[in-house]
Structure 1
């Protein structure tokens, strides 16, 4: 079995040739060089450090992509490659990875290193502003007015945040929330409720263009966007892993969960809340579903289920966040910026007009 090489030189000139690369997780690099002629793929040349047997299958696969529309879906590209490969053996790559390399050449799919990430500091904020900031920043990224962004939430007061589709009355004991001075808010992403007090959780949001997860299912995108923080936690000595669909866990118990919203503007909002030192008794007092899920396990088991990062790292919350951000910076680059006045003003307006509106909170009574 031999390593595959280009079947012929690229037919496009340096001025109009399009180049895309896709590294298969745990596998090989796939490279696509091509150009567009009259809205169709032309001069397609595939290469990489993968293995393919027999060699001539590479030519068949490249030829199968010729003439496809430049806006062809990933499924169409994958089907063309699958048909052309016939009985060829592909090692270290597959038809889907070829399709993704083509999408990257076309600028319809991107990689982490294709982007310049900013770390947005917004200061301590109350619950309604946190929700509004998430929506405003996601819109800005989708509209191209802000580069892909990472934000770590700092809380000014207690909160219970419910998912976009959760029933307020079924999920939350409002009297208990008031007793614990926790403001109940509804976010724009789905998923379950979470309880926070300043300093007891680590919540971050990633605001990225949809091209970063192009061709991925929701389940795949959750794992993909959480991979960096799992690596960072492992560097801190936490045996962290991703548990489908949206949990981060360790052998000692659940660490946190993710939620995601894809906006029409072309942005993906992906946020994660991890327990640092959660008060499980308060959480069970407020969140009704949590009581039911854990009714036969008791509070001791609840504490284990929502396992605090502090017990596994022995580090102050600030040091954990510092290590996480350091890992992201080393991996993809990260430039710190302060929230501008216009962004904060937009968020305040949205907090008042939407997130404080009782109708929004009770959209699912």
Structure 2
């Protein structure tokens, strides 16, 4: 059995093994990583030999860590990375290349419909009616989207919201508020089976699922990096943030919003938390903190999105898709009964 895992920002780890009587045998770890001293590789292999085939990535990593002395240097990989590669060899975890992704870039819709689709699409993936999906949001009205656990009154100035003709919707994932006007952000949702992030901690899964967009940003001239727990930043400042929702069905929703051309004054008028973050960091210029991609690339939002889609299609196996009528109908129902209801929006007043 053979399994591989590419560490985000690091090196490739490969594992070859057999299973005999329910335990790992003949384990051989390889890759383009760095390891000192050389003999530590034999210690890693020996630590894995005899482990139960049901061991989790964390248990495998613990066995490796216990077999290595303090002077061992693992550069570009870790015990956890080896554990994930083992799980992939065993077929317990999958890699990007094991899936064909539906790619959707539809017409602008009511912004709350996009929030509802983030509940509908994972259900379709879990039921097997749709494959793993990457979709770009397009919306036709201004909106503030708050995290699942945020307080409306703590995050949003409701008088300013009304003054600017905006509404507020609560999404199903955690994280912070998104200030969204048509054309001011680039937002995408990635819906994947849990097997793709099997063995990864929450923090590791953020870096793993954000890795492709760092490459896409490089294509448009932005040198970006992942900043734990859920931010994407460049040398000029923060670009965007990610949020996740893990469903009981085993499906994972990972979505990212990146600033393109935000009206910073309006954003700070509407978002209370934005004022606090600005004050805390001693930043006088809102535009400096928002750091829109337009100023870093000189490209239109449409051109950046096309570059992102081209990068994703070039990197993974994909097929173009669109929302199905039944998905839109279900999302419209959820929008009316849940996401635009006071009971859901103000569940944390």
* Structure 2 residue corresponding to 1:115, chosen from 94, 99, 107: 99
Q: TM-score, normalised by structure 2?
A: 0.89
Distance 1:353 1:114, change over 3 A: same
Match of 2:247 in 1: 263
Deviations 1:60-111 (A, max 9, x none): 6555445533322222212233344568957665433332121002222222
Instruction: Write out aligned runs for 1:1-365 (5 A).
Output: 18-24=1-7, 26-35=10-19, 37=21, 40-49=22-31, 58=42, 61-62=44-45, 64-84=47-67, 93-295=77-279, 301-365=285-349
Asked whether the 8 Å contact 2:40–2:72 carries over to 1, the reply is no
Deviations 1:224-266 (A, max 9, x none): 2112212211221223222222122223222111111111111
Asked whether the 8 Å contact 1:34–1:42 carries over to 2, the reply is yes
Per mean C-alpha deviation after superposition, the further-off stretch among 260-269 and 250-259 is 250-259
Distance 1:143 1:34, change over 3 A: farther
Distance 1:171 1:61, change over 3 A: closer
Per mean C-alpha deviation after superposition, the further-off stretch among 146-155 and 340-349 is 340-349
Distance 1:90 1:145, change over 3 A: farther
Report deviation, 1:152. Answer: 0.3
Distance 1:299 1:286, change over 3 A: farther
> In 1, Cα distance between the equivalents of 2:216 and 2:38?
41
Question: Match of 1:220, SS?
Answer: helix
Deviations 1:141-179 (A, max 9, x none): 234332111110000111000011110111111221122
> In 1, Cα distance between the equivalents of 2:71 and 2:280?
54
Segments of 5+ residues of structure 1 without an aligned counterpart are 1-17
Distance 1:105 1:185, change over 3 A: same
Q: TM-score, normalised by structure 1?
A: 0.86
Distance 1:174 1:48, change over 3 A: same
Per mean C-alpha deviation after superposition, the further-off stretch among 49-58 and 325-334 is 49-58
Distance 1:88 1:172, change over 3 A: closer
Per mean C-alpha deviation after superposition, the further-off stretch among 66-75 and 212-221 is 66-75
Distance 1:317 1:23, change over 3 A: closer
Deviations 1:126-154 (A, max 9, x none): 12211110111122223433211111000
> In 2, Cα distance between the equivalents of 1:69 and 1:296?
50
Question: Match of 2:14, SS?
Answer: strand
Q: How many residues get paired?
A: 345
Aligned-residue Cα RMSD (Å) equals: 2.6
> In 2, Cα distance between the equivalents of 1:144 and 1:55?
46
> In 1, Cα distance between the equivalents of 2:133 and 2:55?
29
Segments of 5+ residues of structure 2 without an aligned counterpart are none
Asked whether the 8 Å contact 1:127–1:183 carries over to 2, the reply is no
Distance 1:155 1:178, change over 3 A: same
